[in-house]
């Protein structure tokens, strides 16, 4: 298995209790996923539960390094709309 929790993790504990294989462990800097225990929720859920609950967009990645919960996935607001709004605010 190859999901990873990256350094943007804020140790909020949202992911750890929802992991059906108990593969998420607390580590000194941020939570980590034990590859030997992780099933990526295959056979239990359609999507990895850690990524579906994580409040930090981009904190959980797949084998290719792609965010499992990319920017905009939590808010439903496309990243380009957020960037445009931020640019408009800065311009004021």
DSSP-assigned letter for residue 20: T
Q: 1 pLDDT exceeds 80?
A: no
Per the structure, how many domains does the chain have? 1
Q: Could you report the per-residue pLDDT of 24-82, keeping only the tens digit for each?
A: 999 999 999 999 999 999 999 999 999 999 999 899 999 999 999 877 777 777 878 87
Beta bridge partners of 82: none
Domain assignment of residue 77, given as a range: 4-91
End-to-end CA distance of the chain: 47
Beta bridge partners of 25: 32
Residue 34 three-state SS: coil
Q: Where are the beta strands (DSSP E) in the chain?
A: 4-5, 24-25, 32-33, 60-61
For residue 65, what is the domain's CATH number?
A: 3.30.70.20
Instruction: Please give the model's pTM, rounded to 2 decimal places.
Output: 0.77
Cα 88 to Cα 65: distance, rounded to the nearest angstrom = 31
């Amino acid at each position: 298995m190859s999901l990873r929790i990256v350094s943007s993790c804020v140790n909020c504990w949202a992911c750890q209790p929802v992991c059906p294989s108990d593969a998420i462990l607390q580590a000194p800097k941020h939570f980590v996923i034990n590859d030997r225990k992780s099933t990526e929720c295959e056979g239990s859920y359609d999507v990895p539960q850690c990524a579906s609950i994580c409040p930090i967009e981009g904190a959980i990645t797949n084998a290719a390094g792609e965010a499992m919960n990319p920017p905009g996935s939590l808010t439903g607001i496309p990243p380009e709309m957020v960037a445009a709004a931020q640019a408009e605010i800065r311009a004021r």
